[in-house]
Amino acid sequence: MNLDLFDHPDFHSNWREDLCPGAVVLRGAALEDDVRLLAEIDRIAGLVPFQYRATPGGYAMSVAMTNCGDFGWVTDKAGYRYQATSPENQQQWPAMPALFRAIAVKAAQEAGFPGFDPDACLINRYQPGAKMSLHQDKDEHDFGQPIVSVSLGLPAVFQFGGMERSDKTQRVQLTHSDIVVWGGPSRLRYHGVLPLKAGEHPLTGSYRFNLTFRKAS
């Protein structure tokens, strides 16, 4: 047996780490499907390219975004919202691949949220230095449904806080193929991502990708 395996950055057996009531990290949960997930991201980005959007206050976001599913999350001067079409080409977003949906539904179930019915998948792309400030996911209609977040590629430090922006945050290292689920009493917790450190991942090069699944409507 080669013990070096355990030092490999992508080595995981599947295990769960509870963050708070209603919030859990499922380590390595997307590992079996990583190549197929990344191929789908590539295909979707070929249809609706990644965009650097602006916050309602006019700041350019450092994370590039695209979407798939019935609804996509967008932001511009008019505010944060979900819409059924891409602002760039007014076309419907690409359909959510069956594989995406299956992974999200299974992760939600394992985290204690059976019957998750995602209709939106935001695809985030982080390059070195890209970050996401602390925020709540609250543009959805039904807070009874959880958020499922799949990390791929370079590792990042995820901040998971409380119900107020000023609450203390936990720092959680998320690596390739980890899935975080938060719902129930944790559904509206503040969270964010610290600036991505430069690196090279065998499957994604200098990027981190994140899929967040939501029930928007």
Among 34, 40, 119, 137, binds Fe ion (CB under 5 A): 137
Q: Does 210 bind ligand SIN (CB under 6 A)?
A: yes
Give which of 197, 213, 214, 40 is closest to 128, Cα–Cα.
197
Q: Are strands 147-153 and 208-214 parallel, antiparallel or unpaired?
A: antiparallel
Give the Cα-Cα-Cα angle 7, 42, 37 (nearest 5 degrees).
Answer: 50
CB of 23 to Fe ion, least distance (A): 13
Q: Does 149 bind ligand SIN (CB under 6 A)?
A: yes
Q: Residue 47 CB: number of other CB atoms within 10 A?
A: 13
CB of 208 to ligand SIN, least distance (A): 7
How many residues of this chain interact with Fe ion, rule: CB under 5 A? Answer: 1
CB of 126 to ligand SIN, least distance (A): 7
Q: Can you say how many angstroms the Cα of residue 118 is from the centroid of all Cα atoms in its chain?
A: 13
How far apart CA 185 and CA 183 sit, in angstroms, is: 6
Q: Residue 100 CB: number of other CB atoms within 10 A?
A: 25
CB of 200 to Fe ion, least distance (A): 26
Q: Does 124 bind ligand SIN (CB under 6 A)?
A: yes
- The nearer residue to ligand SIN, 175 or 212, going by C-beta atoms, is 212
Among 93, 113, 116, 158, binds ligand SIN (CB under 6 A): 158
132, β-bridge pairs: 193
CB of 212 to ligand SIN, least distance (A): 5
How far apart CA 82 and CA 41 sit, in angstroms, is: 19
| Contacting positions for ligand SIN (CB under 6 A) | 122, 124, 132, 149, 151, 158, 191, 193, 210, 212
| Contacting positions for Fe ion (CB under 5 A) | 137
